[in-house]
Structure 1
């Protein structure tokens, strides 16, 4: 893997680089907490019209109130309820947005689950981390793609340095981990799927002559609810202990999200995020992608499998 880069200077990318977003529409999944919430705050402060998608209405309303405190008079913030663990819910939420919007400048697929200790399945029968982190977002992006195409916009996936963990390929023969479930390996597979999705998406977009671009980012070791509500047992204990020394606030973790969403110098299929300590922290720049995260044969296969599992046929 190549060494990290700091194209924005030794201090890394900062929010001062965020341009005016007047008239721009942004969708953020999981925008009610953590890095999604922080990204929304920054974007509405730059005049963007932001819609957050999340499961819980009470938390959504609370998040909207928090984000509104940072909004300019030209900005707006609202929410749509969506459960990524249900393809029916994803379709209904996407339909709601499609009925009220004509274009979409930025689709930021941020929501996710992390290191669930016990194997569980989504409502559609998929291993939960793969189903939520990848398949739900795959369908959501497919449905909203026509609006992004009209806006010549951006589609962003929040992956993780965990795409490098232990699993150097997608387990196509056992996507649901019916045998040998591991919370860390299954999480790594879902984040590898995010990475491969963006590579295949960008390949298809450019082959079709589309003006849309695909981006992939990671937040480093951001101190969010993801670490506290996902892992269990010894893994949760280790997260708490090491988090005290290695983590950074969500506001730093969200920098790569805003970079990909707004900076005119952002490059497609470039892994933006903290660059030090293997990507856990430090200034935000370009971090290495594992060779298996750039396997285009695997990316193409994952795309076809994802279309079959979700019924989401992309018109690209």
Structure 2
């Protein structure tokens, strides 16, 4: 992949004027996704806020519209745990725009009880990985039209498993909320790196840049985990976590920052990459397994019933 100068200590004031640029952010109605939308809007970009809840999404759009100097803001209803909803969102997006400069795969769920998506996938893997894989596939022509960027969003939790459990990817047996979350975040990173390789091999002008927010205090820690985990996060969020505004910076760098490179992985760089200045982040050995990444890509296509050939 193309070698460029490593990015260090990145902040949103390095953004160019993004007037006329268009970005879609999943989960853009709250937390890190909302703050990413706000950063982009301050730089005058048009923003599409994809939200599962229409009412919460509408509230977020109203808040974003109050930011001075920004571009247009649109609401897209999207439930990543439903193939039908993802396909409907794709249709809705095309009523507003005919091209995209970037898509941030921000939405996610964490450490939920053992549940399934509307299509029978394990909820965390289905939402965090498969839902975004399908969305990016459907929107790829719009992204190509602007030589845009796809930004998978991983986590430091990707280091929590030694690899994808290909024998039982949905953890139907021996379910562990934490292991399954870690696997979904490993899948996000492996997918981002594999997508970057495929884009480069095809000579595409689109790039894939993966990001992670470090440990940021958001609704993620309160809406998914249960029991002791939920109680622990109430304490650690106050004592250890950084703000959603800071956690959004790697995503904004990845989708719109100058110098962001295909195949890079950006996030906080201190305290085990949990917080601190934004730059190049640590990638586990498992995430760098190219054979496993190709296998994950094939599995994703099989489960979703699609074939994504990048040419």
TM-score normalised by structure 2 residue count: 0.96
Question: Are the equivalent residues in 1 in contact too, given 2:7–2:260 (CA < 8 A)?
Answer: no
Aligned residue for 1:202, secondary structure, equals: helix
The answer for the alignment partner of 1:78 in structure 2 is 74
Question: Are the equivalent residues in 2 in contact too, given 1:106–1:153 (CA < 8 A)?
Answer: yes
What does 1:227-306 correspond to in 2, within 5 Å?
227-306=221-300
Distance 1:100 1:91 in 2: 15
Tell me the alpha carbon deviations over residues 116-142 of structure 1, each in whole angstroms, 9 at most, x when there is no partner.
Answer: 1x2101111111000000000000000
Aligned residue for 1:231, secondary structure, equals: coil
Question: Are the equivalent residues in 2 in contact too, given 1:98–1:144 (CA < 8 A)?
Answer: no
Aligned residue for 2:209, secondary structure, equals: strand
1:28 aligns with 2:25: yes
The answer for the alignment partner of 1:185 in structure 2 is 179
1:56 aligns with 2:50: no
1:93 aligns with 2:51: no
The answer for the alignment partner of 2:149 in structure 1 is 154
The answer for the alignment partner of 1:110 in structure 2 is 106
Question: Are the equivalent residues in 2 in contact too, given 1:142–1:313 (CA < 8 A)?
Answer: no
The answer for the alignment partner of 1:69 in structure 2 is 66
Q: What displacement does 1:7 show?
A: 4.6
The answer for the alignment partner of 1:314 in structure 2 is 308
**Comparing 119-128 and 260-269, the one that deviates more:** 260-269
Distance 2:306 2:129 in 1: 13
Distance 2:196 2:214 in 1: 23
Tell me the alpha carbon deviations over residues 134-180 of structure 1, each in whole angstroms, 9 at most, x when there is no partner.
Answer: 00000000000011111101000110011100x11111111111111
Distance 1:249 1:243 in 2: 9
Q: What displacement does 1:226 show?
A: 0.4
Distance 1:199 1:234 in 2: 34
1:135 aligns with 2:135: no
In the alignment, which of 146, 152, 172 is matched to residue 166 of structure 2? 172
Tell me the alpha carbon deviations over residues 76-108 of structure 1, each in whole angstroms, 9 at most, x when there is no partner.
Answer: 101110111101110111122124322111111
Unmatched tracts of structure 1, length 5 or more? 1-5
- Aligned pair in 2 of structure 1 residues 120, 92: CA closer, same or farther (>3 Å)? same
Aligned residue for 1:129, secondary structure, equals: helix
Distance 2:265 2:250 in 1: 9
**Comparing 278-287 and 290-299, the one that deviates more:** 278-287
Distance 2:105 2:97 in 1: 18
Q: What displacement does 1:241 show?
A: 1.3
In the alignment, which of 10, 13, 18 is matched to residue 16 of structure 1? 13
Q: What displacement does 1:238 show?
A: 1.2
Distance 1:92 1:142 in 2: 14
The answer for the alignment partner of 1:3 in structure 2 is none
TM-score normalised by structure 1 residue count: 0.94
Distance 1:71 1:78 in 2: 16
Backbone CA RMSD of aligned residues: 1.3
Question: Are the equivalent residues in 1 in contact too, given 2:7–2:259 (CA < 8 A)?
Answer: no
